[in-house]
Amino acid sequence: MEYIELGKTGVKVSMIGIGAWQASGKSWGQDVEDDKIVGALIRANELGINFIDTAEAYGDGHSETVVARAIKEIGRDNVVVATKVHGGHLHADDLVKAAENSAARLGVKEIDLYQVHWPDPWEQVPLRETMKAMESLYDRGLIRAVGVSNFSVRDLKEAREHLSHVDIASDQVRYNMVQREVEEEVLPYCRREGITLIAWSPIAQGALTGKYSTAHKPSDDIRRGNKLFNDANLAEISKLLQVLREIAEAEQKTVAQVALNWLTREGDVLPIPGAKTEAQAEENAGAVGWKLKADELKRIDEVLSKLKISYYPRPV
């Protein structure tokens, strides 16, 4: 397993992590079982994956309790644990309580990376208040690093202005082969500033595994309403999958492994695919430790440049 630095913290994290959104309950499908997810987290760690990401919003804290079971088996010193404060808990007092509760559910004295899950567009809590509270948690020793999630460049800039002696280590955003909006501003900014970009939904909720098509769509609550899985978008994605299958066969990898490896090609993006089973954890770990060839990257770029993904009309 290869490792990269998390922002400028000095903390080393595996080039690929594992997300625990799937440990929210049955919203990800009837095949979700806590015991199997714990097994997947443990197996991932055995293969060198030391970064686990969760959030208090995932199953109202349930995901954190599942992750805690894995941490207990893995050993606290062998894992970098990241969690996120709900976007509705950004007032200072609420944020502190949320961090304390997350630490308790995780069974840890210190959260390695604590992230603001999303900026607050409803209560309009000033970022100054939120970031000062985050810095107080850092000073207190409850968190080792400050992170954000789903922040634009303007949000990042403002948030950093309100931190006096600690910087933002990471921005966790949606990023995969067919959802590349962050390449316009967020990714270049993070690269310039030494902020790690953590990629959630790195295989587009399974659309880049080759498992789904216009004739076979996901039926779980999370993905059923995702416009990415409409007929037009799946038809577009099928053009990419054709190329990915050919590359996967040549490299003796899976389609998902090729899609994940593409994200790590520059060495500064940390994808966090989920895993419901040990087999999926093993597949994720096999996505790194090798590199796509120049001609393969060129073929991928050519097909990506022609893809047309649309989310119109969105449900009201």
The Cα–Cα gap between 198 and 18 comes to 11
> Would you state the pLDDT for residue 316?
55
The 10s digit of each residue's pLDDT in 229-284 is 999 999 999 999 999 999 999 999 999 999 999 999 999 999 999 999 999 999 99
pTM reported for the whole predicted model: 0.95
Of the pLDDT bands very low, low, confident and very high (cuts 50, 70, 90), residue 29 is: low
Burial profile 51-75: b = 16 or more Cβ within 10 angstroms, e = fewer: bbbbbbbbbebbbbbbbbbbbeebe
Of the pLDDT bands very low, low, confident and very high (cuts 50, 70, 90), residue 226 is: confident
30, pLDDT greater than 90: no
Q: Where do the domains of the chain lie? A: 3-205+256-291
At 137 the three-state DSSP class reads: helix
Helices (H), the chain: 34-46, 62-74, 92-106, 127-140, 153-161, 186-193, 221-224, 231-251, 255-263, 278-285, 294-304
310, pLDDT greater than 70: yes
Mean pLDDT to the nearest integer, 142-148: 98
Tokens of 250: 């040549």
237: amino acid identity, one letter? I
85 neighbors 99 (Cβ within 8 angstroms): yes
Dihedral of the CA atoms 7, 13, 14, 20 (nearest 10)? -100
Domain 3-205+256-291: assigned CATH number: 3.20.20.100
* Residues recorded for the chain: 316
The 10s digit of each residue's pLDDT in 101-130 is 999 999 999 999 999 999 988 889 999 999
The 10s digit of each residue's pLDDT in 68-105 is 999 999 999 999 999 999 999 999 999 999 999 999 99
Catalytic residues: 58
The 10s digit of each residue's pLDDT in 180-204 is 999 999 999 999 999 999 999 999 9
